[in-house]
């Protein structure tokens, strides 16, 4: 699980911003939002331009060099804070896999090239590659001096982790394999003016075809009815069909033509939930409810937070800021280059009976 993330000099973050998920409070309700002492589910709120999207994209920078999964084509456009164009962007990650703690940090130049890289496991330095000098645990990874020197020079700026993964036979459960598998299961997506995603997949799917070919038409119909109370009468489909069709009064109509913007967004969400159940480790959905009714957003969150993986979203919908859905240590506010949980943003003791949405609107939480 991801326990902590920090980034410096990235896009709108001119200073270091840290998001700590490793210190949940001791609330006795909605305990399913905490797993192994780590915040598993949460929602980030903040004013327009406060950095919700930038923070989520920064977390997924790791996918760009440790995974072969799908990348955002324009990710490195406006990558670095405009006021420090010649500086590096520093990324810091902490992961917890069982009792094992992995700390991974690195720096990239404005074009996305990996410059420095460091890995610590259970407080033991595995390697530190800084300024073309490589300090590495030679017991764990024995190597010839010429190979070590080549790694240190690293003219093509590849990740040392990737080199170790392909160069050494690793036992099952090795920390590098755990890290690789976690990153491969990371997923970021949004559905605003255009649909975009990062990670977890290597292919781009046509949603109609996917639902038909996977035999999910009836399940998709039930999903729409359960979360949004919409009843679509889908026709029988052959596995080779390309489009979802609805049957009304003996006439067949394309689902794409009659579904609203919000329903199209639900279709995308349905696809990703289906995929998350299989492989996801850490998911961030940016502005997930931009086209949803507030009650629909609540129902969607309940389904997302029931998944086994870590799932976080950003939203402007304060209806979701409820102790019935999450808890004060799982609702976060981002503003002024900082992000804090609600319980850490006030001196007031927050209890289950508090209307935290009302408190938020009243200015109780300062950041």
pLDDT at 194: 67
The answer to whether the CB of 70 falls within 8 A of the CB of 201 is yes
Query: Over the chain, what HEC string results?
Result: CEEEEEEECECCECCCEEEECCCCCCCCCCHHHEECCEECEEEEECCCCCCHHHHHHHHCHHHHHHCCCCCCCCCCCCCECCCCCCCCEEEEEEEEECCEEEEEEEEECCCCCEEEEEEEECCEEEEEEECCEEEECCCCCCCCHHHHHHHHHCCCCCCHHHHHHHHCCCCCCCHHHHHHHHHHCEEEEEECCCEEEECCCCCCCCHHHHHHHCCCHHHHHHHHHHHHCCCCCECCCCCCCCCCEEEECCEEEEHHHHCCHHHHHHHHHHHHHHHHHHHCCEEEECCCCCCCCHHHHHHHHHHHHCCCCEEEEECCCHHHCCCCCCCCCCEEEEECCEEEEHHHCCCCCCCCCCCHHHHHHCCCCCC
Average pLDDT over every residue of 299-328: 91
Tell me the pLDDT tens digit for each residue of 292-305: 777 778 888 888 99
Query: What is the pLDDT confidence band of residue 312, given thresholds at 50, 70 and 90?
Result: very high
pLDDT of 289 > 80? The answer is no
Side-chain-side CA neighbours of residue 60 (13 Å) = 29
Tell me the pLDDT tens digit for each residue of 326-340: 999 999 999 989 999
Compute the distance between CA of residue 283 and CA of residue 222 in angstroms, rounded to an integer: 24
203 burial level (CB within 10 Å; 0-12, 13-18, 19+)? exposed
Compute the distance between CA of residue 10 and CA of residue 85 in angstroms, rounded to an integer: 10
For the chain, give the percent of residues with pLDDT over 70.
98
Tell me the pLDDT tens digit for each residue of 96-150: 999 999 999 999 999 899 999 999 999 999 999 999 999 999 999 999 999 999 9
Average pLDDT of the residues of the chain: 90
Collect all residues with Cβ–Cβ distance below 8 Å to 255 and sequence separation of at least 6: 208, 232, 234, 243, 244, 245, 246
Query: What is the pLDDT confidence band of residue 174, given thresholds at 50, 70 and 90?
Result: very high
pLDDT at 297: 83
User: Which tokens sit at 336?
Assistant: 């002024």
pLDDT at 56: 94
End-to-end CA distance of the chain: 26
pLDDT of 193 > 70? The answer is no
Average pLDDT over every residue of 248-259: 86
pLDDT at 218: 92
pLDDT at 128: 97
Average pLDDT over every residue of 246-271: 86
């Amino acid at each position: 699980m991801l326990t902590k993330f920090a980034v410096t000099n990235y896009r709108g973050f001119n200073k270091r911003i840290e998001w700590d998920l490793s210190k949940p409070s001791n609330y006795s309700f909605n305990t399913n939002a905490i797993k192994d002492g780590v915040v598993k589910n949460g929602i980030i709120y903040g004013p327009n331009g406060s950095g919700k999207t930038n923070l989520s994209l920064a977390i997924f920078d790791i996918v760009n060099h440790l995974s072969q999964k799908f990348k955002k084509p324009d990710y490195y456009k406006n990558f670095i804070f405009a006021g420090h164009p010649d500086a590096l962007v520093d990324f810091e990650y902490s992961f917890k896999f069982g009792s094992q703690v992995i700390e991974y940090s690195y720096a990239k130049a404005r074009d996305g090239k990996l410059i420095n890289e460091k890995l610590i496991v259970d407080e033991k330095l595995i390697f530190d590659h800084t300024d073309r000098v490589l300090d590495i645990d030679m017991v764990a990874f024995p190597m010839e001096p010429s190979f070590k020197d080549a790694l240190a020079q690293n003219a093509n700026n590849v990740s040392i982790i990737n080199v170790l993964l392909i160069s050494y036979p690793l036992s099952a459960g090795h920390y590098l394999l755990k890290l690789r598998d976690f990153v491969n299961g990371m997923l970021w997506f949004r559905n605003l003016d255009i649909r975009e995603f990062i990670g977890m997949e290597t292919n781009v799917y046509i949603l109609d075809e996917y639902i038909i070919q996977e035999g999910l038409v009836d399940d998709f119909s039930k999903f729409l009815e359960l979360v949004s109370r919409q009843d679509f009468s889908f026709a029988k489909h052959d596995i080779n069909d390309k489009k979802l069709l609805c049957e009304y009064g003996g006439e067949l109509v394309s689902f794409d033509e009659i579904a609203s913007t919000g329903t199209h967004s639900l279709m995308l969400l349905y696809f990703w939930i289906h995929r998350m159940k299989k492989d996801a480790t850490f998911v961030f959905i940016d502005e997930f409810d931009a086209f949803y009714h507030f009650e629909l957003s609540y129902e969607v969150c309940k389904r997302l937070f029931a998944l086994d993986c870590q799932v976080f979203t950003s939203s402007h919908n304060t209806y979701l800021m409820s102790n019935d859905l999450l808890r004060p240590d799982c609702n976060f506010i981002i503003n002024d280059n900082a992000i804090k949980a609600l319980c850490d943003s006030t001196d007031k003791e927050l209890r289950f009976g508090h209307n935290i949405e009302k408190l938020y609107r009243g200015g109780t939480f300062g950041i």
